[in-house]
Every structure is written in C-alpha cells, then in structure tokens.
Amino acid sequence: MPTPFREEHQHFRQTVRKFAEKELAPYAEEWEKAEIFPNEVFKRAGELGIFGAHYPEEVGGAGGDYWFSVAKSEELPRCLMAGVSMGLLVQADMATPVINDLGTKEQKAEFLTPAIKGEKIAALGVSEPNAGSDVAGIQTWAKKDGDDYIINGAKTYITNGCRADFVTLLVKTTQDQGAHGCSFFLVPTKTKGFSVAKKLKKIGNHSSDTAELAFEDMRVPKRYLLGEENMGFMYLMQNFQSERIIACTSACAGGSYMIDEAISYGRDRKAFGKPIIKREYWQHKFVDLTAKLEAAKALTYKGAEAYNDDKYVRKENVSMDTVKTISLAKIFVGDVMTEIADQCLQFHGGAGYVEEYHIARAWRDQRLFRIGGGTTETMRYYVAKLMGL
C-alpha cells in the first residue's frame, strides 16, 4: 500500500524519535528500577505537541489526522521502556478520545485541553476485580441523587492510576440493563471518596504505575457525566478501536527493534567458530519472523487507514468492517509479537535471560499485549460473532 505519511508526519515522527531516544531512553534502567517515571515526562510531551497532534486545534491540538498518532506510537518504543510508552499512549489515545468525541465545551476545557498540554495526567477506568474483558460485568455503581451521582465500587489494572489527576470512568447507572446500563464520568481524583487502594506489582512494564482504585460514596456532579446516560458501553466499544490499533502499531515497532537488536547481537556472538547469525537455521528463522512482522504491520495499517477514514474523513462512528479489521489485527499482532520475543530471546541464549540485555525486558513486557485492551480469546470470540459464526 502507498505510504500514508506526508512530510508533516515525518517531521512529527522525528520530534517523537528524538524525545524517546534522547530524553527517555537514557533513564531506562533508573525508571524501571523505581517502577515509575517522573510526572515531568507528561509535561514535556505536552510541550512538544506529542499528545495533541491528532486532536482539533480548538481543544489545543494541531488539527492533524490519525496518522500522526500512528507515527507517535511507532517512535515511542525507542525509549526502551514499554511502561513509559504505555503511560503516554493511555494519556493520548485511550483515556481522552472519548472526551473529544462526546465532551461538552466545558468538559473539554477542564479535562481534554490540560491533558493534551501534559498539565493533567489521565487514566482510563474500566477493568474491575471481577470484570476485565467482560466489560458488561462491571459492578461499580453510580446512583443518582439530585444533581449528583454517588459512586461506589473499585477498578483495577489502571495505568497511570497512582498519579492521575482525573479518571475517565465507566460505571453502571442502571443495574438491570447489562452492558446497556453503563455510563462514562470524568472524575477528578481529588474528589472525596476516591482513593488509590494499592499500587500493583507487575511482571513487566515496570516503569509504569498500575493501580487498584476504590470509590466510597464518591459524589460526582451531573456535569461530569460524559455523553448520554446508559450509552457508555457503546461509547467504550468505539473508544476501544483507537486503543487497539495504537497498541498494534506500537507492538509492531517493538517487534522490529527486537529483530534488529538480535541480529546485531548475532553478528558479534560466535559459537563453534563463526557468528551465530551465519547459521542457516537462524537466518531462515529471522526471514520468517520478518515476513510475519510485515504481514502484521500491513494488517495494522489497514485498520489504521479504515479508522482514519471513519473518524477523520467521514467524521462518523467506526464501522463494523473497521472494528473487524482492527480486531483481526490485534489477534494477529499479538501472536506474532509473542513469537518474535520468544525467538529473539532464544537466539541470545543465556544472555537473553539476564537483565543486562534489553531483550529480557522486551520479552516480559510484550506479554501484556495479548491481555490488555481485550484478551486474544475475547477478540476471537468477537470476530466470530461479526462473521456470523
């Protein structure tokens, strides 16, 4: 397919690349060990226009199309910390798109514009201790009380949750309506009744903070209801498409870096008298991995192109055909990235199992991809429904 990137996209790409390589990557070991990165990173990304390139100018963005976000997600992995990439992508492409789509002028001014500038940190609150990919099973409950809603419940696996200034929160507003009884709220974390129950310790993505949140008689004014009441599940399904396609583009970029690093290692590492990359078995293995990566990227770009056409050209909701393509991309990319990470680690031998080499971190970090944003099994179930099976 022809390249979707124009000159302005490439200039933006260079900005993100320089930011990732020069301002983030040198701190990889420090921030991984600390299990968090500084809040100032959000502010700096906002100053560089990294969050807002694909948002309208009237809310503080640059008015670009979706390919700016694709370029951003392809360059951020150069920071060598999936946790940092994820924290920044949650800010730009997961917690805020629904505000741009549905928010009132006042809501955008209070939440979206400061998030684009990096002045407020955003989190997306959907998953719960007893409801992950099965979003319809959430139990956090908002009860109407005059001009307010009183919210009780808990969320878990929330990226940026320990330090967010606000949460784009999905809750039940009508108990007996299943998925069709959910609503979105914008919740400042200084609201009485909100608390960070605990910071979760993860096997990967160490540099990002992931939290369990609690809401106890948290009173939220009606003006923080995002969109229409009981339409939250439909909004979420639309919002998920941006999250999934951006995750795919970021993962493909990470896969490319893993292959490049492995081949470089294989040129220097000798076994039985010659560099291990000169072994025919491994040459063929990397050819196959590269072919699968190119196929994964092509399917991802097909999904990105469809999303861009729906949201930025036609300015409509994402079509079911687009949803199907993005879901297929998430399935395929997840399987391919797991194979790339595992084979690249194997190629490193014992060196791949020690923290000195980046592949060890990349191997454990990529494992989240087939879980977050809808498990691979859920994606297959959903696509099967779209196929009428």
Enzyme catalytic residues: 243
Of the candidates 363, 126, 321, 354, the residue with the CA atom closest to the CA atom of residue 240: 126
- Strands (DSSP E) found in the chain: 122-125, 141-145, 148-159, 166-172, 182-188, 194-199, 210-221, 225-226, 270-271, 274-275
Q: Considering only CA atoms, which of 208, 198, 168, 201 is closest in space to residue 86? A: 208
The two three-digit tokens of residue 13, written as one number:
């790409």
Measured CA to CA, the distance from residue 65 to residue 52 in angstroms comes to 11
Which residue in 168, 172, 187 sits closest to 139, CA to CA? 172
| Close Cβ partners of 294 (under 8 Å, ≥ 6 residues apart) | none
Q: In whole angstroms, give the CA distance from residue 298 to residue 254.
A: 15
Non-local (6+) Cβ contacts of 389 within 8 A are none
**CA separation for the pair 258, 81 (Å, rounded):** 13
Of 78, 67, 24, 32, the C-alpha closest to 253 is 78
Question: Smallest Cα–Cα separation from 379: which of 312, 329, 337, 344?
Answer: 329
SS3 71: helix
Closest CA to 323 of 266, 241, 230: 241
d(CA 149, CA 220): 5
Q: Quick one: tokens of 144? A: 């109407």
Torsion sign over Cα 371, 374, 378, 382: negative
Question: In this structure, are residues 303 and 288 in contact, taking their beta carbons and an 8 Å threshold?
Answer: no
